Amino acid sequence: MLTMRILVAALISFGVLIGVVSPAQAALPSWPNVKEGQNGANVLTAQHLLRHRGYNISADGDFGPATEAAVKQFQSANGLSADGQIGPNTWPKLVVSVKQGNNSNAVRAAQVQLNRYGYGLDEDGDFGGGTHSAAVAFQKSKSLSADGIVGPNTWQTLVGGSGSGGGGGGTYSLPLAKSALPRSEYDDPHHDYPAIDLPVNSKPAYAMVTGTAYRINEPNGCGNGLRIVKSGVDYIYCHFSSWSVSNGTSVKAGDRVGTTGNTGNSTGPHLHIAIKISGTSYCPQNFLLALYDGRTPPAPSSLPRTGCFY
């Protein structure tokens, strides 16, 4: 009898151990702590989820007082400590499982997250075939059960992960999802001076490097643009329809920074990209081609200053 009990106890312990070391569980990243003063994709995600739950706040990616007030209300209504910060206790109650056929602000939140990993989805709240394929591809890439349903584990892996933008993650990212344009678009010459025009409309734009982002507002030039500064180099984006980051934000390579559009002096929807050092323009083509190919790009100061415009 005693031997039997020991055996049963041993089996239970063994089962518990297996549970603890199951790879899917071990792979889940921690939930981030998102709070007032922050901005970016995780803030935008939380705002879409709060809107889904009936809180009438704007989804602008900026965690201001209205978002904080909504978080506190949500926390009080869900038996959580109402500190106004979205951390490891609040996220699991805030996320909503979504799947193909759904159409909601929770779907928008999932699309914002999938776009952090370079899937280039329209953030329209409509969970169609494209969003389903992106969810399955993301799940496979993270060794999650690839059912296309964005449930608790997939949400945590999305929100807790560092994202990869268009370029596969790390120190650099393509400014667009890799699927947005073929490689041949990244070597085209520009008109008049060193830069490049990428023919896209209404696509997520990503930080090419980790740095500090400053908004450009030039109705007769760059339109709604962005300058990301890293080590004295300006990485410039023009003609956004909207920004995803506020002025002076720290961004990581691959973070969503805006949506491409046709603002400013522009003859059609496109993303204008330029690289400048102390006001001098360098040809961005070789830099972008390296990002497309997954190679480490050349130092901006080594890029040519002629040969990329007509």
Contact residues toward Zn ion (CB under 5 A) are 197, 272
Q: Which is nearer to Zn ion, 58 or 265 (CB)?
A: 265
Contact 155, 45 (CB under 8 A): no
Q: Least distance to Zn ion from the beta carbon of 215, Å? A: 18
Residue 239 C-beta: closest distance to Zn ion, Å? 8
* C-alpha–C-alpha distance, residues 65 and 166, integer Å: 32
Lookup: tokens for 14: 């063994």
Closest contact distance (angstroms) between CB of 188 and Zn ion is 10
Which 3-state string (H, E, C) describes 238-271? EEEEEECCCCCEEECCCCEEEEEECCCCCCCCEE
Minimum gap (Å) between residue 193 Cβ and Zn ion: 9
> Between 52 and 227, whose beta carbon lies closer to Zn ion?
227
- Token pair belonging to 248: 């002076």
Question: C-beta of 190: minimal distance to Zn ion in Å?
Answer: 6
Residue number, 178 or 272, with CB nearest to Zn ion: 272
- Considering the complex, state which of residue 177 and residue 274 has its C-beta at the smaller distance from Zn ion: 274
- Residue 299 CA to residue 286 CA, distance in Å, equals 10
Q: Which is nearer to Zn ion, 222 or 257 (CB)?
A: 222
Q: Which is nearer to Zn ion, 197 or 234 (CB)?
A: 197
Rounded CA separation 237/258 (Å): 9
Q: 271-277 and 233-243 as β-strands: parallel, antiparallel, unpaired?
A: antiparallel
Tally of CB atoms within 10 A around 23: 8
Residue of minimal Cβ distance to Zn ion: 272
Angle between helices 41-52 and 65-77 (to 10 degrees): 50
Q: What does the alpha-carbon distance between residue 58 and residue 151 come to, in Å, rounded to a whole number?
A: 24
Shortest distance, position 274 Cβ to Zn ion, whole Å? 8
198 pairs with which residues across the strands? 271
